Amino acid sequence: MLPRKFIGAWMLVFLVIFPNIFNLCTSQLEPRWGVKKRHVMRKKVRKMFYHAYDNYMNYAFPHDELKPITKSFTDSLSELGNLKLEHLPQHYKGSALTLIESLSSLLILGNSTEFERAVLWLSDNLTFDVDARVNLFECNIRVLGGLVSAHILATDSTNRLVHGVYENQLLILAEDLGKRFLPAFNTPTGLPYAWINLKYGVMVDETTETSTSGCGSLILEMGALSRLTGDPTYESVAIRALRKLWSMRSSLNLLGTTLDVVTGDWIEYSSGIGAGVDSFYEYLFKAHILFGKEEFWRMFHSAYLAVQKYFRHGPWYHEADMRTGKATYWQLTSLQAFWPGLQVLVGDIAAANSSHREFFHVWEKFGVLPERYLLDHQMLHPTEKYYPLRPELAESTFYLYQATKDSWYLKVGESIVNSLNLYTKVEGGYASIKDVTTKRLEDHQHSFFLAETCKYLYLLFDDSFLVDRNYIFTTEGHPLPVLSDWHERLPDTYLPTNWSFAQSEKQARRASAMSLQVCPATTKVNSGGHDNQQVESACHIHDARADHRCFTDEDCGVDSTTCRRRSCSMAGYCGLWLLI
């Protein structure tokens, strides 16, 4: 028997020569480690949701949103998008906004009993015949979207509600709200006013300024309302506005941020993928998926290529002038963090992964994601240091995990959950952060925290709700089913019965790390009887040059084995120099 010191020496030699024997791939550990971890995290997110929801129901319901620090409420529907807090209603007492926003989340968490109770309360008590001036975009994505989505879930064949208690009450409410939106579209251009009074329509001397998102992100909710009611009016006004907006693009296929709905002139020519424009891009592609219109795809494809050409700088996206394509503002905004999730739907996984990692790096730096970060100065915006519990990073993390099954994204989700509990949880709910540097809190729990933030985090760790179902999530996180009945019918020429087929040799399908869910780098797999082939990592981004020469770090990609950013050495070669 060898002396203990010799055994220790041999073990040291073994570890030096064969270090990779203990470097097990995360995806190989996933079935054992991941199931246990996801179970723990699912319970944490469920606890988060109910801490926020129960406190809303106890201290704020039926008002719009919770003030968690003072355990009171705010009737904020008329304040959304109203930065100057102008023309606030005198007698508006709320529309149970947070309850509406929570409906689909309740079902995703498996609470059909509370879902049913909420639906019945809304059926008996909710009315939109109120003298309140609201933002069309915000009311559309939060209220109309919440009602339409919940109606679909309530009538799902898997039977979410006790038989006989639901008679399309939510759809009736949604249609009533949709009709109240229609006067906003009565403009010379067809572009809707940004503001509408739910009782009286467009007010005298109403502002004619709106945003690209405000008039270009209505098609999912209003299109779904038309499909459900059989009334094409809602979809037609939304499409008319979208087409007009697209016709106003520059020769570079770029759009600005704000415009005049009466004259059709641009007011702000600079734009990016963040506030004021973000959901325009999102809805072009999601509308193509939901309704099958080729027109939406053509718009999106042109717009997406323009974004990549004029806004992208490495993993970041700056803003640019729509007329010239020249950069205007070099800044990260928290709303931009939705973009990697959209890129996953498009299939541009490498670009999505690259941007997502940079957003998460900023999250780690501050503990949360600041509203605005100046990239050119590497500093926070002096007045926009807040974090209002936004969901966009959690959303993109969910999409990337679904696409890659890389458990690194579970760790990102865990970090987000831990930060939310550490910095924003108070006795009366979850509070927004006023200053990310000091973690000073603000007395506001936004409804989207329940509609989106908690929902995407829960789905990251438990996606059982999505099994055998196909949904598109609106920009407010409300699920809409992808149904063949909602798709445009193709002309007979395009149907399979009219196709002619040519014989061709069977092509071997190229394996990928995402489809095979294997480790990066050195793993070889046998695919369908074909010869072993090298599998590329889902996180791998190639260096700009095949010889790995570089001038700056921007010429270097992401390492396939460690998923870490490579950097440029003083000698001009890309590598993991920062790790040496």
In the residue annotation, 371 being an active-site residue is answered as yes
Structure tokens at 137: 């975009």
The helix/strand count (H/E) of the chain reads as 20, 24
**Whole-angstrom distance, CA of residue 465 vs CA of residue 107:** 8
Q: Are 147 and 170 in contact (CB under 8 A)?
A: yes
φ/ψ (deg, to 5) at 541: -125, 120
Half-sphere exposure of 2 (CA within 13 A, CB side): 8
* β-bridge mates for residue 133, sequence order: 197
* β-bridge mates for residue 317, sequence order: 312
Active-site residue identified among 138, 406, 442, 559: 138
Alpha-carbon distance values, 280 to 215, 271, 490, 554 (Å): 8, 12, 26, 29
Active-site residue identified among 64, 221, 235, 371: 371
Residues contacting 337, CB < 8 A, separation 6+: 356, 359, 369, 390, 392, 393, 395, 396
**Whole-angstrom distance, CA of residue 436 vs CA of residue 415:** 16
Q: Name the one residue in this structure whose structure tokens are 């304040």.
A: 79
Active-site residue identified among 65, 75, 101, 278: 278
Cα 86–chain centre separation: 29
Alpha-carbon distance values, 461 to 27, 103, 446, 454, 472 (Å): 15, 20, 23, 11, 18
**Whole-angstrom distance, CA of residue 571 vs CA of residue 549:** 9
> What does DSSP assign to residue 505?
P
φ/ψ (deg, to 5) at 58: -75, -40
Rg (CA), the chain: 25
Give the 3-state secondary structure of residue 295.
Answer: helix
Active-site residue identified among 101, 116, 392, 555: 392
φ/ψ (deg, to 5) at 207: -60, 140
> What does DSSP assign to residue 493?
G
In the residue annotation, 30 being an active-site residue is answered as no
**Whole-angstrom distance, CA of residue 471 vs CA of residue 483:** 9
Closest among 59, 87, 160 to 469, alpha carbons compared: 160
Q: Are 76 and 97 in contact (CB under 8 A)?
A: yes
In the residue annotation, 427 being an active-site residue is answered as no
Q: What is the 3-state secondary structure (H, E, C) of 172-226?
A: HHHHHHHHHHHHHHCCCCCCCCCEEECCCECCCCCCCEEEHHHHHCCHHHHHHHH
Active site residues: 138, 278, 371, 392
